[in-house]
Amino acid sequence: MPTTAPPGSEEKIRILGERACLGQCLWHKHDAVGPMPLPADRKRRSLGEADRRLAMLLARGLLTEQAAREVGYSASTAYRRLRRTDFRLLLEQLRNDEG
């Protein structure tokens, strides 16, 4: 019997356990598919004070590496922030306010 439980969800894990106990095939070709939900400890957090300061420095024209050092971030952390939609929106808003 297929399930609509999303992959990685607690419900899907429970169903897989039941299938295993019954000696059934774990996977059904009509099971729900899609991205796995983030674990509770990996859910995206809101932007913090350092993130807002990083965005402000970038909006003022500092290079990413320079701005990262100013707020105590590594360059890789700063580049990770730049991949976040909420951070990019904040940065765009700050750049528009500056101009």
pLDDT tens digits, 47-63: 899 999 999 999 999 99
Are 75 and 64 spatial neighbours (Cβ–Cβ below 8 Å)? yes
Please tell me whether the overall predicted TM-score, pTM, comes out greater than 0.75 for this model: no
Pair 59, 94 in one domain:
yes
How many structural domains comprise the chain?
2
Claim to verify: residue 53 and residue 72 sit in the same structural domain: yes
Q: What is the CA 60 to chain-centroid distance, rounded? A: 26
Task: Supply 42's token pair.
Answer: 């990996």
pLDDT band (50, 70, 90) for residue 7: confident
Residue 3 maps to a domain = no
Contacts of 57 (CB under 8 A, 6+ apart): 66, 67, 70, 71
Hunting for tokens 């439980």 — which residue is that? 5
Same domain? 23 vs 62: no
Q: Which domain holds residue 80?
A: 49-98
- Whether 55 and 83 share a structural domain: yes
